[in-house]
Amino acid sequence: MQDPLKYFRVEARDIVEQLQGGLLELERSGAHPSRTQSLLRFAHTLKGAARVVKQLEIANLAHRFEDLLVPLRDAERTLEPAQIEALLGVVDAIGEKVAGLAPVRAPDEPATTPQAVEGQRFSERPPSPSAPEEPSRPIVAPLEQVDAVISGVAELGFQLGSLRRALPELSDSQRLAAQVAERLAPRRFAEMSASQAASLRVLTADLSQRLERLEREVGLGLSRATRELAQVRDQVDQLRLVAASSIFSALARTARDAAVSLGKQATLETHGGDVRLDAEVLGAVQRALVQAVRNAVAHGIEPVSERQQRGKPPTGRVTVEVRRRGRHIAFTCRDDGRGVNLREVRRQAERLGRLPAEATTEEDLLGLLLRGGISTSAQVSEVSGRGVGLDLIRESLAGVGGTVSLRNHPGAGADLTLSVPASLTALEALSVEAAGGVHCIPLDAVVRALRVEDSEIARGAEGASLLFGAEVIPFAPVARLLKSQNSQPERKVWSVVVITHGQDRLALGVDRLLGSDGLVAHALPDSADVEATVAGVSLDADGNPRLLLDPEGLIAAARTLRASNPSEAPKRHAILVIDDSLTTRMLEQSILESAGYEVELATSAEEGLEKAALRRYDLFLVDVEMPGMDGFAFVERTRADQRLSTTPAVLVTSRVSPEDLARGRAAGAAGHIAKGEFDQVDFLERIRGLMQ
């Protein structure tokens, strides 16, 4: 039996959105006959449709909405808050009834769980872990896009028809080939007369021509069919896309309700609503933005009296802006409130024991806020104060590969930016061979692919790492991250893929790079027992599955691997690096610390002597040319000091003439490292040699 509510649910959901958005516009701009009449038409349409499908409760609620709105039809004034509340209450009740409409099933159709009811595609609150999955919201595609897909499918059928017409030609060619093969049998060929040989030559030429013609026809047909199929795929992908503006009504309602409950005044502005993205991605974005808008009103927008004292308009402004950035979409939620109270964030972090021991920057504090558990609200309410808001935002985006960042403008507000892929299905990926199989890495996450000798990989207390530009980044073989049981042979050269997610980078060791291509990603079923390193699966041209790796999961797995299974580390020797160049100091520090050494820094030879007098170091790394005392003098001073004379000193310098090298040896230097020929592997090998 066909579900009689199938189309009613779609229509009713759309009307509920129109009613809600229209009421919020009335609240902002005041009543106007044309706006009011439009809302009455929507309510009347819903009432009639509900009666047709015997949903009398919804019909009665729509009638109640009309009763409340009719007296205001001809008014041109601002509606009272109580009037708006009453009308929104009726719309909410209608929405709940519509969300609870379960599909009507045929008698022989197995029922699903009682929770499997039709609901809105986008919920204003993230579902709890035990909540049933929401059904997909129908996507309303523009007619011209549907026509384009139908046309593309028809053209594809035409091209496949040309291939079918080539099949008889193929059969004839196979028959001719069999005749030629029979006549070329050794005995028959030896007994063949001149006329038979001539006949064979004619058959062979005919077969050759047929095969050439067949190759040409099939090749052209396949080429055209491939192009048409690619176009159809692109058109179908477009059908999955939904305009960002479809969630603006829910966000406006969220801002309005949060302001009313907190006794504030706030309005929502939106920009970029014509940007289109995958419906599933937009659902995750809506859940995150609902929380972001609540946070902006609760934590950012000040009470009216405070805003007036600061010289601001009494009504706070929350702005949601949508922009396309390549293959990603950025949603920025911005408010003009007080900004983030970093002092309160620090106090809360200290109270919870979550403040790092080292000096904490503004970026560190904002990062703590994004991880959740910290709230700057003094009171717990339905809107704020539990410290879970930003954490929920991050979790909502994790499932679609999104990231979140926060910028603070003290006294002027804050910007929360959500970055998500425009589509989850079609993407560009780099294929690699590793762990006994072929896997794909999203190309958006790939910084660079390169070949690295195993000797260039530093292995220390914090695990393996390599130098990438001026940055030392963690290194991990993909096979270990995927927990592969395949044995990993010793190798002299690695193919390495440097990936990024947020602020983190990781060098992945793979067996071979296979190139990049477009693919269609498929989500794995919930029952599949897979690691967090796997985001989905795709199929190659032969139908073989390939795992789509998740950059965030890979980076997290590498972090866990380094923490739980550190490499054999050298003893924690202490090294004092003395150099007036910030770049050189930081480069040497990062390399040495990645290899497990304890490093302290000094910006001059004089400061180095002061530090050397306070504690014992195992090695001095000294620049030669510095203001004041140079490196030669530092080495001479330490060789003359009985307490420091046994600590080796290495000169790091661009002066490598024979005279300079001789002067360094005469001063007592244990070695020289040329800045112009700086090599990470050689650098660490020489350090280890001096430590033995």
Q: Rg of the chain over CA atoms, in angstroms?
A: 35
What pLDDT is attached to residue 386? 36
Q: What is the pLDDT of residue 175?
A: 66
The pLDDT tens digits of the residues spanning 31-48 come to 677 778 888 888 888 887
The residue ranking higher by pLDDT, 666 or 26, is: 666
| Residues 42, 18: Cα–Cα separation, whole Å | 8
pLDDT band of 380, cuts 50, 70, 90: very low
- CATH number for the region 574-691 comes to 3.40.50.2300
Q: Does domain 6-99 have CATH number 1.20.1270.10?
A: no
Quote the pLDDT of residue 527: 53
**What's the whole-number mean pLDDT along residues 101-115?**
48
* Range from 388-402, 439-453, 586-600 that averages highest in pLDDT: 439-453
CA distance 651 to 630: 11
The confidence score (pLDDT) of residue 176 equals: 66
Per the CATH hierarchy, to which homologous superfamily does domain 426-564 belong?
CheA-289, Domain 4 (2.40.50.180)
DSSP E strands, 368-488: 403-409, 413-421, 426-434, 437-442, 446-453, 458-460, 463-468, 471-477
Report yes or no: 214 and 169 within 8 Å, Cβ to Cβ.
yes
Query: Which H or E run contains 204?
Result: helix 194-239
Average pLDDT, the chain: 77
Alpha-carbon gap, residue 39 to 60, rounded angstroms: 16
Across the beta sheet with 316-325, the strand order is 266-271, 316-325, 328-335, 413-421, 403-409
* Whether the model pTM is above 0.85: no
Question: Which tens digits make up the pLDDT trace of 418-471?
Answer: 988 887 766 788 999 887 788 999 888 899 999 988 888 887 666 788 888 777
In Å, what is the CA distance from 7 to each residue of 121, 496, 538?
15, 52, 33
What is the architecture of the domain spanning 243-421?
Answer: 2-Layer Sandwich (3.30)
Burial class (CB in 10 A: 0-12, 13-18, 19+), 68: middle
Q: Tell me: the pLDDT tens digits for 496-544?
A: 999 988 778 999 999 889 888 777 666 665 555 567 788 777 777 666 7
